[in-house]
Amino acid sequence: MLSFDTIRAMPPDHPSRRRQKAPPPGETGQEALYLRSLSERQVPVHVKLRDGETVSGWIEYFDDRMIRLTREGKPNLFIYKHQIRTITEHGRDGRRRVRKVPAAESLGDTGAEDAQ
């Protein structure tokens, strides 16, 4: 068993022998680029929420915590990102594409999961 005096007497590791790992990047910026692309092109999307509900529209605005989903003939919605499971593009050509929304580090468990 090591005592406090033994631990204090141990020489520190030589700094050149220890390699410091750089911390992982908090955000890569890919989420903002993807959401900006959807917003500028007004791509119709389906947003599946964590409770299983799906809402449709296009992303008019977003920030680091939420998106604004604009809908035809229905009220617009402000949706917190941590409530989003997936965002599915429904392009003008009728094809369906699923993209993951990267987690926002400051919001905790906000990562998207694969659809169906």
User: 37-96 pLDDT, tens per residue?
Assistant: 999 999 999 999 999 999 999 999 999 999 999 999 999 999 999 999 999 998 655 555
Is 113's pLDDT higher than 50?
no
Q: Where are the domains of the chain?
A: 28-106
Question: In Å, what is the CA distance from 41 to each residue of 20, 64, 76, 116?
Answer: 43, 20, 18, 26
28 phi/psi in degrees, rounded to 5: -95, -15
Architecture field, domain 28-106: Roll (2.30)
Cα distance between residue 87 and residue 35, in whole Å: 10
Cα distance between residue 40 and residue 32, in whole Å: 12
Cα distance between residue 112 and residue 116, in whole Å: 12
pTM listed for this prediction = 0.58
